Every structure is written in structure tokens, then in C-alpha cells.
Chain A
């Protein structure tokens, strides 16, 4: 009798435990659903904020590189220059750039708001405009979904300069900013919406003289070995991006010249990249650093590196040419 009662109690306990377990499971499911709803709400909020953006994100609206939204800028075509001047002050290109946008008997060029404007001399109407920042998309536009999985080639710094996203914060890292790449141009976009925040054309993609430095480029970043040569002054400063060190005017943010071409740097322990099978040490250093059966020497970005011919690994930096 006692045993039967005990068995009933045990059965009741088991049922209670199962009920508790089911309750816990339901609670967990509810929590997961709540999290999903919250995450979606946050995402939709972000999308709404992005869609309501007008006209240009505040981060881009600093004076030196203020961009006019593409939609607004295209409406200037055919408009009298006087009208446009009320919206965005236009100016003649600085002397250093005029050869890049040469006047003709029919047209002349002015710039402002991130564009070069071609103006008809007889009518004083704007005949055409040319973005001073390269790329098919400009800040304020959305990068199409099919470009969102296109990353910067490693040659141009996927693993260093332009990572897919920044930092370790889930899911997209710092400031929800992602780098995507198309046709020689890096687009810094909102990871969720694809809203273009910044356009960074790379040098071999056509980024160079007469174009504007993106607004995010307002600090000095020239590699250490070049800093004693390329330093900021009142008249001009220098900016490094994979491919080149640019000289630009701090006043206009226009790139005035390419001070030096840069190749991807070597790091100790990495395999010698393709295309460096040939000896390329500068003439003045050849009597000291010449290839032997045990050691090769290769020049890259101001340094001479030693390479193990057997393993083809970069083993040491043996000389700095710039310091």
C-alpha cells in the first residue's frame, strides 16, 4: 500500500517536473521570439532612420567636403549658373587643377559641392557635371544588394586597410560600417541598409589628381618610413591609401598630385608575393644586397627585405632606404 502511494507520489513528481520543463521551454521560446522581435524592431528603426535621411548624413556635412545629393545635383543641368550659385557657391578651379579641366571656346569649368560643372559660355547654363569623387554611387545612395557581398581585393587591403567590417562587436562591429568594393572603388556603407557613407576610389581605379578627398580623410596617416619626407604644411598635406601617397590641398580637399606610388607591403614570415621573382634592389644598394644561393633581397616600399630562396618566405628587413 505504502509502495503504491509512493509510486503515485513519484509519478506526480515526474509530472510536475515535466510541466516545469515545458514551462521553461515555453519561456525560452518566448524569450527567443522577444529577442527576434526586438532585433527586427531595431533593424526597422535603423532602416526607417536611413530612409528618412535628408539630404546628407551629418558626418558628411562638414564644410571642406560637402556633397550635394546626386538627385539634387542632376537638376542643375540646364540651369543658369546664377541660380545654382545661390544653392552652392561655385568657384574656378585652383591654379594647380585648371589643366585637368581645361577651358574651351565653348565651355568653362567651375566646381563646388563635390562636382565639376561644365558651363556654356554663350548661355551661362550648366551643360554637364562630373563627380569629383569617383564611383558609380555617391554618399546618400544605396548600394544594390548584389554588391553587398563584394569585398575589397586583398591587394587593396581587405585584411588591413578596408576590412569587411570593423571591430568585434556583433554582428557588424564598430559603427555598423562595412567596406564593399566595385570597379576600383571602395564604398563604406551601412552594413544593414547599404546606404553609402563614403566613396573611396583607389588609385589604380582612377582616384587621383583633381578629385576630392573623402570627408573621413581628415587625419595624417602616411606610413612611418615616409613621414620625414611627406609631412603636412599650411599649404598641403599628404594622405596614404593603398596604391599611393597623395598630396592634397587642406583648403579645397582637392588632390593636387601623387607623391609616391605604393605597393602592398611585405611582412616578415609571409610568402614572397607573385611577381617578385626578379631582383629589384636599387642600384646604390646592389653591392651590399645581392642574391646568393642562401638569400635573396627584394625592395618594397622603402625597405629591402631578405627572402629565403628555398622556402620563398620573407625572413627579415635588412635596410631602410628612407631614414
Chain B
């Protein structure tokens, strides 16, 4: 069984997802909306999904993780959107839309989303109350630490990566977007020695 599991892991690792022709598959790219009419009404007309650049790297990654539909829902969410330059400087493969990278992609993106509407002023006030720093709970289950540096709000992930809010409080009917200049990563899984998909357990 172990060898089979190992073979499966090798097989999974061998998968390549490269964009190309659509010769045999009957499907197009038509996606059904996840939101019902009532949910769409609650989300409003100017949602985060509709407001962010469709061709930007964040929305491409969100689509690959199935979050594009989520950001069109009622929410509300607070989203930290790294700019495209930050995407390019992230570790190679972080935002790959390859099917086998979907787990990491989802973890990275959910670590950039907070529940509710949190304006920059709200973060700053919490930093003041917290004597210089505050924790922000993310939808991925991690926390981000917020501090002030030279009048700017700085976010730090559990690994020490820092990102500065460059443009905040972009308001939408289902939440708010803050643009940041670097990518924040989620905390490492509880069991770093656990097997990845299809790998031998030991």
C-alpha cells in the first residue's frame, strides 16, 4: 500500500497544467455563480470581485482558488491585495494556478482576507489600544500582526514577512480592500512532517 501511495505521489507530482487548446474537453469557461439572487442583492452592485482588476494577478489567483465567486457574495470581507510587483517577487510557484498547487494557493489567499469590514483607521486604533501592535484574525485561521512604522500601517505574518498598506480603504458594497506592497504567507501547517498528497507516510 505504501508503494502505491508513493506512486500516487509521484504521479501527482508529475502533473503539469499548462494553458492550451481545448480540443477534447467539451467544457468552456462558463462558471455558474455561487451566489443566489438574494445573496447577490445583499452583496450590492459594487462588489470586491467586480471592483478589482480582472486581469490582475490577485483575481487570477482568486479564480483558481474559487474565491472570485466568494468575493462577489454578501461578505463582508476585508481583503489585503498585494500589487502585481509583489506577486512577481513572491517565492516561485506561490501563486501557480496548477491544480496541484491549489492547496497552497488557497492557504495564501485566505490568509489575506479578514472577516468583516476593517478600515485602516480601525487597525490603527487597535494598534494604539494594544500599545503598539494588534493581531488580525484571518479567514485562513492564522493571525497577522499590525504595527505602525513612520506613519504607515505595517503587517507582519507569522514568518516575519512584512507588507505596508500603500493604498487603503477602497470601499465596496461587500467590504473593503487595502493594497499592500508585499505578499504575506500563512503559518506553516501544524504537522510539517506530514505527507503531502499521495506521498509515503513513513
Using a CB–CB distance below 8 Å, which chain A residues touch chain B? 70-71, 73-74, 77, 92-105, 107-109, 116, 118, 121, 127-131, 134-137, 141-142, 144, 146-147, 150, 153, 155-156, 181-184, 201, 203-210, 228-231, 235-236, 243-244, 247, 255-263, 273-283, 298-301, 321-322
Given contacts A92-B26, A229-B38, A278-B122, 13 further A-B contacts (CB under 8 A): A74-B4, A100-B102, A102-B19, A108-B25, A130-B100, A136-B198, A183-B189, A208-B65, A228-B38, A247-B32, A256-B32, A258-B67, A263-B115
Residue of A nearest to B26 (CB): A92
Q: Is B14 an interface residue (CB 8 A)?
A: yes
Q: Mark B173-202, 1 if CB is under 8 A from A, else 0.
A: 001100000000010011100111111011
Residue of A nearest to B108 (CB): A204
Report whether B7 and A98 are in contact in the complex, using a CB–CB cutoff of 8 Å: no
List of B residues within 8 angstroms of A256 by Cβ = 31-32, 34
Report whether A95 and B99 are in contact in the complex, using a CB–CB cutoff of 8 Å: no
List of A residues within 8 angstroms of B190 by Cβ = 150, 153, 181-183
List of B residues within 8 angstroms of A129 by Cβ = 8, 11-12
A-B contacts, 18 of them at CB < 8 A, read: A71-B4, A73-B8, A93-B25, A98-B25, A104-B16, A104-B17, A121-B23, A134-B197, A135-B197, A153-B190, A183-B189, A184-B189, A203-B106, A206-B104, A206-B106, A257-B69, A261-B77, A279-B126
List of A residues within 8 angstroms of B197 by Cβ = 130-131, 134-136
Q: Is B91 an interface residue (CB 8 A)?
A: no
Q: Is B20 an interface residue (CB 8 A)?
A: yes
Known contacts A183-B196, A259-B73, A282-B76; decide if A70 and B65 are in contact (CB<8 Å). no
Q: Is B125 an interface residue (CB 8 A)?
A: yes
Give the contact stretch, choosing among B81-89, B128-136, B160-168. Answer: B128-136
List of A residues within 8 angstroms of B105 by Cβ = 206
- CA A310 to CA B52, docked complex, whole Å: 39
List of B residues within 8 angstroms of A231 by Cβ = 36
Report whether B135 and A257 are in contact in the complex, using a CB–CB cutoff of 8 Å: no
- CA A131 to CA B21, docked complex, whole Å: 23
Report whether B12 and A128 are in contact in the complex, using a CB–CB cutoff of 8 Å: yes
Smallest distance from the beta carbon of B135 to chain A beta carbons, Å? 4
List of A residues within 8 angstroms of B4 by Cβ = 70-71, 74
List of B residues within 8 angstroms of A257 by Cβ = 31-34, 66, 69-70
Report whether B32 and A276 are in contact in the complex, using a CB–CB cutoff of 8 Å: no
Q: Is B59 an interface residue (CB 8 A)?
A: no
List of A residues within 8 angstroms of B31 by Cβ = 96, 99, 256-257
Report whether A101 and B39 are in contact in the complex, using a CB–CB cutoff of 8 Å: no
- CA A153 to CA B63, docked complex, whole Å: 28
Q: Is B92 an interface residue (CB 8 A)?
A: no
Which one of A181, A259, A274 lies within 8 Å of B39 (CB-CB)? A259
Residue of B nearest to A153 (CB): B190
Residue of A nearest to B44 (CB): A284
Q: Is B141 an interface residue (CB 8 A)?
A: yes
List of B residues within 8 angstroms of A300 by Cβ = 115-116
